[in-house]
Amino acid sequence: MPDLSSLQLLGELNFRRICRLIRTQEECDEWHFVVPTTGMIESRLTLEIINRSRYTTQLSFTFGQGVFNQSSVDQNAFIKRKAPDLLFDHNVTMTVCLYHDVNIAEITNGHRQYKGVYPYPNDDMLHKDEKIRLNQQLADLLELCLKHGHRQNQKPSYHLA
Confidence of residue 152 (pLDDT cuts 50, 70, 90): confident
| Most confident segment among 23-32, 74-83, 111-120 | 23-32
Nearest to 65 by CA among 97, 96, 95, 88: 88
Distance CA 27, CA 87 (A): 39
Q: In this predicted model, what pLDDT tens digit does every residue of 1-11 receive, in sequence order?
A: 667 888 899 99
Between 50-59, 70-79, 95-104, 113-122, the lowest mean confidence (pLDDT) is in: 70-79
Is a pLDDT exceeding 90 seen at residue 13?
yes
